[in-house]
């Protein structure tokens, strides 16, 4: 598995998707606080080991996004996490952006930082075992936003990041996320998602990025979390595909949706609805964080004796989403699986 296209196809192979385990230290602190667990390095390591050693998860997980601390950690038997994942046929990846900062003269819109020094960091992460990377851009829908400046600045940064990844021999996950936050309609989400995807692919082409060696990690076209009318799975699927067929080139190997605040079952059902309307030019998969981990985190609760139960919860969610990738999921499976 040498070419970027081979790596990308392995990550989003039919029935497989991505576990986003790249929560920053402050973010995972919030997750741990919800279950009453102290946010220590050892607890973070133990929790990630729980996920990475789950037997059978490799049948549904093609790649795992790691945080800087995590890619430097090892399992309790001394095996580095990247090596452990690789031995199971799972491709290790790494979050490389440095988070968002406000655009000049804006109090609401952001651009993602982290391009300075990225080449060197990518080379180091490659040596540590990573074969793909992730960079997240954040687009907010609100009064008179997003502006074209915000859309362009984030698309341009995504393209520069993607080019440097490919130069380093790593598959870039390109993540332009239109947030669910707000009371906007699904039609507004469609328009903004269309705009950011269109601009992102223009910038990727200008940067000479090989579209056959990337994975797109976008939001679904969906109603705002506070919208008075919420679209159902069928409308989400139809609107998402209408948008993507107009903006995402067929050369892209995979579209791995983020969950963006959807519940575990909502994100699975919506992914399934999209695939039920297939086949599509790209593999339509998942790259979920909370939507793969929430039940497992609650089951674990920081107690070693609960590891088996937590792994069972994680495996179940991975399997459900693997089925949704193939358009074979049914809500009844949540109780009978």
Among residues 16, 134, 217, 319, the one annotated as catalytic is: 217
Q: What distance in Å separates the CA atoms of residue 3 and residue 17, rounded to the nearest whole number?
A: 19
* pLDDT value, residue 206: 98
> Could you tell me if residue 220 is left (phi over 0), alpha (psi between -120 and 50 degrees) or otherwise beta?
beta
pLDDT tens for the chain, residues 1 to 337: 579 999 999 999 999 999 999 999 999 999 999 999 999 999 999 999 999 999 999 999 999 999 999 999 999 999 999 999 999 999 999 999 999 999 999 999 999 999 999 999 999 999 999 999 999 999 999 999 999 999 999 999 999 999 999 999 999 999 999 999 999 999 999 999 999 999 999 999 999 999 999 999 999 999 999 999 999 999 999 999 999 999 999 999 999 999 999 999 999 999 999 999 999 999 999 999 999 999 999 999 999 999 999 999 999 999 999 999 999 999 999 975 5
Give the Cα separation of 140 and 132 in Å (integer).
26
Q: Do the beta carbons of residue 182 and residue 141 sit within 8 Å?
A: yes
CB 91 within 8 A of CB 55: no
Calculate Rg over the CA atoms of the chain.
19
Cα–Cα distance measured from residue 172 to residue 185, given in angstroms and rounded to the nearest whole number: 30
Q: Which of 175, 177, 199, 203 is catalytic?
A: 175
Residue pLDDT, tens place only, 136-163? 999 999 999 999 999 999 999 999 999 9
pLDDT for the residue numbered 201: 98
Judge contact between 123 and 84, C-beta under 8 A: no
Q: Convert the pLDDT of each residue in 234-246 to its tens digit.
A: 999 999 999 999 9
Which residues neighbour 16 within 8 Å (Cβ) at sequence distance 6 or greater?
A: 59, 60, 61, 62, 285, 322, 325
Contact 135, 174 (CB under 8 A): yes
Q: Under 8 Å CB-to-CB from 182, ≥6 apart: which residues?
A: 140, 141, 142, 224, 225, 226, 227
Strand partners, 21: 66
Q: Is the backbone of residue 297 left (phi > 0), alpha (psi -120 to 50) or beta? A: alpha
DSSP 128-183: TT--EEEEEEEE--BTTBS-HHHHHHHHHHHHHHHHHHHHTT-EEEEEEEE---SS
- 151-190 in b/e form (b: 16+ CB < 10 A) is bbbbbbbbbbbbbbbbebebbbbbbbbbbbebebbbebbb
**317-to-18, 192, 242 alpha-carbon distances in Å:** 12, 30, 27
Euclidean distance between CA atoms 171 and 182, whole angstroms: 32
| pLDDT at residue 277, rounded to an integer | 98
Enumerate domains of the chain plus CATH numbers.
4-336 (3.20.20.70)
Query: 55 an active-site residue?
Result: no
Beta-carbon contacts of 107 under 8 Å, excluding residues fewer than 6 positions away, are none
Is 175 known to be catalytic? yes
Q: By three-state DSSP, how is residue 335 classified?
A: helix
How many Å apart are CA 122 and CA 162, to the nearest integer? Answer: 11
Query: What do you get for the CA distance between the two ends of the chain, in Å?
Result: 33
Residue 282 DSSP symbol: S
Residue 298 belongs to what H/E stretch?
helix 290-300
Helix, strand, coil percent values for the chain (each to nearest 5): 50, 15, 35
CA distance 178 to 138: 6
The per-residue pLDDT for 336 is 53
The pTM (predicted TM-score) of the whole model is 0.96
């Amino acid at each position: 598995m040498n070419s970027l296209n081979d790596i990308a196809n392995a990550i989003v192979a039919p029935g497989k998707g991505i576990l986003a385990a790249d929560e920053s230290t402050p973010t995972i602190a919030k997750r741990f606080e919800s279950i009453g667990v102290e946010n220590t390095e050892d607890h973070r390591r133990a929790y990630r080991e729980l996920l990475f050693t789950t037997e059978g998860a490799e049948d549904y997980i093609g790649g795992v996004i790691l945080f800087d601390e995590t890619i430097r950690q090892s399992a309790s038997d001394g095996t580095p996490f990247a090596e452990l994942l690789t031995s199971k046929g799972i491709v290790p990846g790494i979050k490389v952006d440095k988070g968002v900062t406000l655009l000049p003269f804006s109090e609401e819109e952001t651009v993602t930082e982290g391009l300075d020094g990225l080449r060197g960091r990518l080379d180091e992460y490659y040596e540590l075992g990573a074969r793909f990377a992730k960079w997240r851009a954040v687009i907010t829908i609100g009064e008179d936003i997003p502006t074209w400046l915000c859309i362009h600045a984030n698309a341009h940064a995504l393209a520069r990041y993607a080019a440097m990844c490919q130069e380093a021999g790593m598959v870039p996950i390109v993540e332009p996320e239109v947030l669910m936050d707000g009371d906007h309609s699904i039609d507004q989400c469609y328009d903004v998602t269309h705009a950011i995807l269109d601009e992102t692919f223009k910038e990727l082409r200008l940067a000479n990025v090989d579209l056959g060696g990337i994975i797109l990690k976008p939001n679904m076209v969906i109603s705002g979390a506070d919208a008075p009318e919420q679209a159902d799975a069928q409308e989400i699927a139809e609107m998402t595909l209408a948008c993507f067929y107009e903006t995402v080139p067929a050369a892209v190997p995979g579209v791995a949706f983020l969950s963006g605040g959807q519940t575990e079952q909502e994100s699975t059902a919506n992914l399934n609805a999209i695939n039920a309307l297939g086949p599509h030019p790209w593999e339509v998969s998942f790259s979920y964080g909370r939507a793969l981990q929430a039940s497992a985190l609650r089951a674990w609760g920081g107690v070693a004796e609960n590891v088996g139960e937590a792994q069972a919860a994680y495996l179940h969610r991975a399997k459900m989403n693997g089925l949704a990738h193939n358009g074979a999921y049914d809500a009844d499976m949540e109780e009978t699986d």
